[in-house]
Chain A
Amino acid sequence: MAWALRFDGVNDYATLSLAAPQSGYFTAEIVPEFGSLSDGNYKLYVRNDNSGGRPNWYINLTKSSGVTTAVSLFADVTTVNFTPIDVSSAFNIDLTSDSSTREVSLTINGTVAFTNTTVFDGRLSYSSIIAIAGAASRSLPLLLKTYEYGSYTTAGGKVQTAFLDATASSHAAGTPILTDTIGGNNATGVNMPTDGSAWVDLGGGGTTGAITQTAESFTQSASGSVTVIGFTGAITQTAQSFTQSLLGAIGYTGSISQTVQSFTQSAIGTALTAISGEINQTVQSFTQSAIGVTVLNLTGTITQTSSAFTQSAAGLVIVPISGVINQTVSSFTMSAAGRIPVQWVDKLPASTSWTTQTETTTTWTDQAGVSTIWTDKV
């Protein structure tokens, strides 16, 4: 289930508890709400304040005949025009800046608008306010799904400072708070409805059906801080490789079936709870590994009918496995390094020793002077 926070385009904005850095990157996932708006020009803002001061930057948008395109970026005192990019539906932006070279790059929906362009009179400073709407003319009404910013390492890797996630936030009545799943630097909605209607359920997610892949590769990845919950369907893979990795917590109650080739399920630094379904592997190798992880309440059945099966757990270990593990062919290995839920006590060895005894001799001799008279009895 995906959620978003609505900015009404009139007076809404959000304040960050931690100002974003002056160089680095900024990304956002946005669903514009152009529906009732007339054709014309609109703006997507991010700025330092909401009192009429000069905005940090904004993207100029043009709506014409139902199609909306991003056409330019304004920052500080300079505008950079670029080839229009369609943003009529959900879109994401990725803006990066370098404080020393003043070079800025902008990507919208995966399309590079411009890159490494030195255009700014001053550094592109990010914001202590997400004034994506607010006291500005022709602000864009929109739904904000995620808002992320951070810095770059010298090697070019991204280091997240904040990841504001509408889905991970509380959607109850009250002042809307966008939850930062990275550092706890939440953002507070200002001038927004407090009856809970600022939060919009976008649907999707919460997969309850089946995911079926019958050929070639299938990849589902989730990076960042992700919580996968309430997955009750089945995942079936009938060809080639299948890899499922989870960083975060999970409540998985469905079944995982792999009938061909390799199957890998890994969880790093994660608690896997309530796997109550079945894991079936009928061909070739099966590997389930958990590092530094507690796997709880595995109550289903693990069935392996051919080839190798390996289950390993380093660190905390699986408790309690109340289901059945069946292995009918070839090798089966289950290892657990660390503590296990059952104590084993070694007993001293019991032995029986046999030794040769000294020979014993009995000698019978006639006794002298002793006569024995035998008489007949009547």
Chain B
Amino acid sequence: MSHTFLSLDMSLIPQSTKDNVPTFWLGLFSNDNSRMLIDGRNSNGDLVHPQAVLSAWLQWCENPTEVQEVLIATAIEYTSEQIKAEQQDVNSIWYIEPEGLT
């Protein structure tokens, strides 16, 4: 079953995470760079990233638990269909212009 997606507020993501996580900038960002899209929750409502991974991303923070709670609490959650619709909506920050010829 497909999982949901979480749109994180980039301003709440610690700079240390942006600087030190090797794959951070391989992620998907909104066109205005205000949000980052990560995989969210499975059908049981559990995050599809284990706590160990989340902790690794926030390991340079002085208060990683609080930062994590704020990031999750302020995230916008999308289903797969919803985010795909956003990607095709020219007015959305997630809009992706069609490529090439069809």
Contacts and interface: CB of A to CB of B under 8 A. Distances in A.
B53 to A, nearest CB: 5
A50 B25 CA distance: 11
A74 interface: yes
A10 B37 contact: yes
23 contacts: A8-B3, A8-B39, A10-B87, A11-B5, A36-B80, A37-B81, A37-B84, A43-B99, A54-B100, A55-B99, A55-B100, A74-B102, A79-B101, A135-B96, A136-B96, A138-B84, A191-B26, A191-B37, A191-B39, A192-B39, A193-B39, A194-B53, A197-B48
Contacts of A50: 26
B58 interface: no
Q: 9 nearest interchain CB pairs? A: A193-B48, A11-B28, A137-B96, A79-B101, A194-B53, A74-B100, A190-B26, A193-B39, A194-B49
A138 B84 CA distance: 7
Contacts of A192: 39
A81 to B, nearest CB: 10
B24 to A, nearest CB: 11
A141 B23 contact: no
Contacts of A72: 102
A8 B81 CA distance: 11
Chain A interface mostly helix, strand, loop or mixed?
Answer: loop
Interface residues of A, number: 36
A150 interface: no
Contacts of A258: none
Interface in B46-60: 46-50, 53
Interface of B: 2-3, 5, 23, 26-28, 37-39, 42, 46-50, 53, 80-81, 83-84, 87-88, 96-102
A41 interface: yes
A104 to B, nearest CB: 15
B19 to A, nearest CB: 18
A308 B23 CA distance: 63
Contacts of B39: 8, 11, 191-193
A61 to B, nearest CB: 10
A138 B85 CA distance: 9
A127 B69 CA distance: 38
B50 A195 contact: yes
A129 to B, nearest CB: 10
Given A60-B102, A74-B100, A137-B87, 6 more contacts: A8-B39, A50-B26, A52-B96, A79-B100, A137-B96, A191-B26
B83 to A, nearest CB: 5
Contacts of A43: 99
Interface in A253-312: none
A195 B49 CA distance: 5
Contacts of B102: 41, 60, 72, 74, 79
Given A74-B101, A136-B96, A138-B84, A194 B5 contact: no
Interface in A104-139: 134-138
